[in-house]
Structure 1
Amino acid sequence: MYCLLNPSFLAYFSFLFMYHFPILHIAYSYSFLYLMSCAKSHSYNIEQYEAERDLRSDRGRGVDDEPLETDTLKLTDNSETDSFRSCFLSWFFLWHLIWLSVMQLRHYFFIGTLNPMLNRLANQDPDIVSEYTNAFAFTQFCGVLCAPWNGLLMDRHKRKPLDPGVSEREADLHSSVLSLLLTSLQCLLFSICASIPILPLQYVTFILQVLNRSFLYGGNAAFISIAFPARHFGKLYGLVMSLSAVVSLLQYPCFALNKVLGGDPFYVNIILTVLTLLAFIHPVYVFLHCREMETSMY
């Protein structure tokens, strides 16, 4: 028994049965590399391996110099000839600027008059005002949870293949119509709820406000990246934010008018609600543009 367990005997026994191993060559070609990989495994047969090796050798000798399909797509996507001036003077940029500026002005006026409005509706009760102020602050934190929803809405078409003859940019532009329309509708409902002087209704106003704000600024950057060349994104984004900030200075005349009306923001809210209807022009224009592109294909 000790002899059977002796290491030298085990080594000799293994040597005797080496005829089970390949003698002349292994199962794969000599150039095949046996490596350990932690990535996802790929199954190859010998025909696939030989075909890929021949293709690599032909490319090395310069036989296959034709560009790959991915290279062609990159060249097509990068052939953007629109100048910054043409983008700035386009109807897309104008209506998008109005879309952003009107809703941003509505948000600024609501936040600026929130505390006086709560004091007015709560009959100057500090406990009730504190309760609603805390609720508003909590809903602002929930904006982090609302932000991805707009992205999921705009990327819903990427789960299915593109229609024949439709580019990815055209599909993205068509998908942005619903996002723009829903953002405008959210702002209209938020403005209507803010105009109604009912205190418990302001909980709904807070939810609509933070939801609309998340859709507004996320959709702003997404639409600029879709509708305009990528090389102009930084300039156009900075320009639209700067111009919308200039438009938001109209909140100070609104504050002055609200003071003249005795601190009651009802009439100013009605004016801003009517002004919010201008935001619906943008999604309608983009929809008509997409439909015109579809009809021109046939």
Structure 2
Amino acid sequence: MAIERQITLLIGCLETLFYGGTIFGWPSLVFILKDIGYYGGDCLQSTDDVNASATSSAPPCSSCGDQRSIDADVPSSTNISSVLSCHSQDASLQLVYSVAISIQLFSFFPMGVLFDVFGTRVTRVLFSVLLLAGNLFIGFSSPELPGLLYPGAIFMVTGGTAVIICNMEIGKLFPSHKSIVITALQGLYGSAQVVFLIIKVAYEAGFSMPTILFISAGCTLLLNINTFILLPANHIPWPLPPDYRLIRCCGKRPEAPPTSTPAFYNKAYVVDGEKAEEWPISKIKGNVHENKVVEIKPTSENRSGSSLRRAPSPPSPTQYLPQYTSFRSCIFSLPFWAILMWQAILELDVIFTLGVLNYFLTRLANGDTDIVSSYTNVFIITQLTAVVLGPVGGLVVERNKTGPCKNGLKTRNYYDDILDCCLPLALPSLLSAAYSGIFLIPNIEVQYLAFMLITFFRVFFFGTGPVIVSAIFPQKYFGRIYGVIRTITGLVTLLQYPIFILIQEYLDDDPFYVMIGFAAADLLTLFLPLFLYLSAKRNLRRFINNHDNSNRSNNRK
């Protein structure tokens, strides 16, 4: 039983690594597209005009031919200036990236709804088709047909969205390490930029870009292993039944008990009158966090005329927070909007940084394409360390789950999970402000430090986001809530293109004020961990006092 779960996780990790967030490798693809000549007509025209004017103004010289042969490999100041001034090509490629990344974030909500309603198999078949189409469209594109980049990038990123939504469910197969698995998959999702790095390395080695993309399209057929053999057609139940099997020779997979449905997770029901009362009790059994629902039937005393004296109900740790009894109540809660602000600001910053990285490096390297290529490779390789560092975010989240409770109670509760998320929520805000500040330094060697900070940022940012949503809101709304957050974030990320034009047209190619604004906005996102920490501490203190008072009252009786 353990081996089939490990195989499922391994295949899910490979799927996420090679087909998840491929768009994050955009700097590598931009290098290839510029070299091939995508949207380069205006650049060539401006270069020809500059060279023609330089030739007409130069005095005739009989030895000019030899001089040109000597200096053929040395980039002239004229060529460098033409490269740096080719704003139309940079803007056109940036627009492709902006549209693709925004569509990716828009797709989180419909993909979340599709996954919640139709299950795993339908969603996985859909993303297989989308990834196949995306690779084919980009492969068939050319400088004469650059418009094919748009549908290719859109299909590829939409399929990658479905990949990560489906594969996060694999964490349910490892109940005691669920957060670690989710954060590890999120780390691999960010490391999917290795696909474009492989294409870049193969292109520099002599292979054509279409050939590599057609091979990648063919490899999408391997996604059917998890789709039709290992994973269920609907959903993996949660809490996981003890005898749950992914592959069964006879019969069906066991489903979750009706009294342990995800609908009862993270909420309490306090019912008036003659209705029954349901109360979720969390307990630790080994390292497995299990949830049970205890139903307290109304007694005859409650049904009588003296029903005003109700039987005392066990103290609920969620009685001091809004009850998330519907999707609407989740959307209109303060934690939802705090998480949305945190997600939108930080994602806009990192996506803008990735989109303009080639532009920044070209500016710092004075147009030297060899230096830009070298730094782009270093950046992508640095980001690949997220494969190893991905589980670190989960370990930070679960750092207190294996030891004794620090709140004086025998078992962990709802607020302990929220408090454990506050530190990994604060780290991305600080790291994002730090690398935004480093990009202000006009020294290309210093950007190695910015590359490392972006790597650590993504480890905590992409991993902690879904974990905090899962910790606060009911599991049955997870796909829709997380999808709404990422979709609204997509609307915010549309600002990256006008910000880029603002730098080009009105700030004289100087991103100083823009990066200062990003750093300040990043620090504002510290509101989320601070708000969650203070509210969870306050309500946990009330719950402990209520629990102690109840125990003292029972002892007197």
TM over 0.5: yes
State the Cα distance separating 1:237 from its structure 2 match.
0.9
Amino acid at match of 1:74: K
Separation in 1, partners of 2:465, 2:484: 12
Residue 258 of structure 1 pairs with residue 476 of structure 2: no
Match of 2:153 in 1: none
Contact conserved, 1:103 with 1:187, CA < 8 A, in 2? yes
Superposed CA offset, 1:58-88 (max 9, x none): xxxxxxxxxxx98x951159x9852211111
TM-score normalized with structure 1 length: 0.72
Residue 135 of structure 1 pairs with residue 378 of structure 2: yes
Contact conserved, 1:139 with 1:210, CA < 8 A, in 2? yes
Separation in 2, partners of 1:150, 1:167: 20
Superposed CA offset, 1:141-188 (max 9, x none): 222112111100000011212234464321111100111111211111
Q: Which secondary structure does the structure 1 equivalent of 2:494 belong to?
A: helix
- The match for 1:109 among 352, 370, 374 is 352
Separation in 2, partners of 1:93, 1:151: 21
Match of 1:291 in 2: 537
Higher mean C-alpha displacement, 264-273 vs 93-102: 264-273
Higher mean C-alpha displacement, 118-127 vs 97-106: 118-127
- The match for 2:452 among 190, 207, 213 is 207
Match of 1:175 in 2: 420
Residue 278 of structure 1 pairs with residue 524 of structure 2: yes
- The match for 1:184 among 413, 429, 433 is 429
Separation in 1, partners of 2:338, 2:521: 14
Match of 2:395 in 1: 152
Contact conserved, 2:386 with 2:459, CA < 8 A, in 1? yes
Higher mean C-alpha displacement, 257-266 vs 242-251: 257-266
Separation in 1, partners of 2:404, 2:394: 18
Q: How has the CA–CA distance of structure 1 residues 132 and 147 changed in structure 2, closer, same or farther, with 3 Å as cutoff?
A: same
State the Cα distance separating 1:108 from its structure 2 match.
1.3
Separation in 2, partners of 1:284, 1:190: 22
Match of 2:292 in 1: 74
Match of 2:443 in 1: 198
Contact conserved, 1:139 with 1:207, CA < 8 A, in 2? yes
Separation in 2, partners of 1:76, 1:264: 62
Match of 2:340 in 1: 97
Give the number of the structure whose residues are more often helix, by fraction: 1
Residue 88 of structure 1 pairs with residue 331 of structure 2: yes
Separation in 1, partners of 2:389, 2:509: 32
Separation in 1, partners of 2:485, 2:324: 21
Separation in 1, partners of 2:518, 2:342: 13
Q: Which secondary structure does the structure 1 equivalent of 2:439 belong to?
A: helix
- The match for 1:227 among 472, 491, 499 is 472
Amino acid at match of 2:455: V
Higher mean C-alpha displacement, 206-215 vs 279-288: 206-215
Separation in 2, partners of 1:89, 1:130: 47
Separation in 2, partners of 1:272, 1:199: 20
- The match for 1:241 among 486, 490, 494 is 486
Q: Which secondary structure does the structure 2 equivalent of 1:187 belong to?
A: helix
State the Cα distance separating 1:214 from its structure 2 match.
2.2
Separation in 2, partners of 1:99, 1:253: 21
Contact conserved, 2:430 with 2:522, CA < 8 A, in 1? no
Amino acid at match of 2:524: L
Contact conserved, 1:117 with 1:264, CA < 8 A, in 2? no
Contact conserved, 2:324 with 2:330, CA < 8 A, in 1? no
Q: Which secondary structure does the structure 2 equivalent of 1:195 belong to?
A: coil
Amino acid at match of 1:216: F
State the Cα distance separating 1:262 from its structure 2 match.
2.2
Q: How has the CA–CA distance of structure 1 residues 270 and 73 changed in structure 2, closer, same or farther, with 3 Å as cutoff?
A: closer
Contact conserved, 2:415 with 2:540, CA < 8 A, in 1? no
Contact conserved, 1:113 with 1:265, CA < 8 A, in 2? no
State the Cα distance separating 1:224 from its structure 2 match.
0.4
Q: How has the CA–CA distance of structure 1 residues 224 and 276 changed in structure 2, closer, same or farther, with 3 Å as cutoff?
A: same
Q: What are the ranges of 5 or more consecutive residues in structure 2 without an aligned counterpart?
A: 1-281, 284-289, 296-317, 546-557
Separation in 1, partners of 2:503, 2:451: 21
Q: Which secondary structure does the structure 1 equivalent of 2:454 belong to?
A: helix
Superposed CA offset, 1:86-122 (max 9, x none): 1111111101011011010001111121112111111
Q: Which secondary structure does the structure 2 equivalent of 1:96 belong to?
A: helix
Match of 1:123 in 2: 366
Higher relative contact order (CA 8 A, sep 6+): 1
Amino acid at match of 1:137: I
Contact conserved, 1:143 with 1:210, CA < 8 A, in 2? yes
Amino acid at match of 2:535: H
Q: Which secondary structure does the structure 2 equivalent of 1:264 belong to?
A: coil
Amino acid at match of 1:130: S
Paired residue total: 228
